[in-house]
Amino acid sequence: MNRVVKQDQPPKFWDRLFAPSSCLAVITTVDAQGRANAASYGTCTRVNHEPVYIAFTTSAGKDTANNLLATGEFTVNLPRWERSTLEKVRICGLPFAPGVSEIEKAGFTALPAKVVKPPRILECARHFECRLEWTREWAGGRLMVCGKLVAASVDADCVDDNGYLVWDRALSAHYCGAPYGGGFVAAFQTMFVDRPYEGPEAEQAERDARAMFKEG
Ligand SMILES: Cc1cc2nc3c(=O)[nH]c(=O)nc-3n(C[C@H](O)[C@H](O)[C@H](O)COP(=O)(O)O)c2cc1C
pLDDT in tens, 120-144: 999 999 999 999 999 999 988 999 9
Closest to 151 (Cα-Cα) out of 165, 171, 166, 131: 131
CB of 64 sitting under 6 A from ligand 1: yes
CB of 128 sitting under 6 A from ligand 1: no
CB of 41 sitting under 6 A from ligand 1: yes
pLDDT in tens, 59-79: 999 999 999 999 999 999 999
CB of 66 sitting under 6 A from ligand 1: no
CA terminus-to-terminus distance, the chain = 46
Query: What would be the CATH architecture of the domain defined by 11-212?
Result: Roll (2.30)
Q: Which atom of ligand 1 is nearest to the CA of 93?
A: 17
Q: Give the mutation target among 35, 41, 96, 105 for probing the ligand 1 site: most ligand atoms within 8 A of CB.
A: 41
pLDDT band per the 50, 70, 90 thresholds, residue 1: low
Question: Which residues is 134 bridged to in the sheet?
Answer: 146
Residue whose CA is at the smallest distance from ligand 1 atom 9: 58
Q: Which residue has the higher pLDDT, 199 or 11?
A: 199
pLDDT band per the 50, 70, 90 thresholds, residue 215: low
Tell me how far apart the alpha carbons of residues 85 and 78 are, in angstroms, rounded to a whole number: 10
DSSP structure string for 144-170: EEEEEEEEEEE-GGGB-TTS-B-HHHH
- Residue 195 scores a pLDDT above 90: no
Domain residue limits, the chain: 11-212
pLDDT band per the 50, 70, 90 thresholds, residue 13: confident
pLDDT in tens, 26-56: 999 999 999 999 999 999 999 998 899 999 9
Output the average pLDDT for the chain: 91
Q: Which residue has the higher pLDDT, 135 or 164?
A: 135
Q: Give the mutation target among 18, 21, 22, 59 for probing the ligand 1 site: most ligand atoms within 8 A of CB.
A: 59
Which segments within 60-125 are labelled E, that is strand? 73-78, 110-111, 120-121
- Residue 216 scores a pLDDT above 50: no
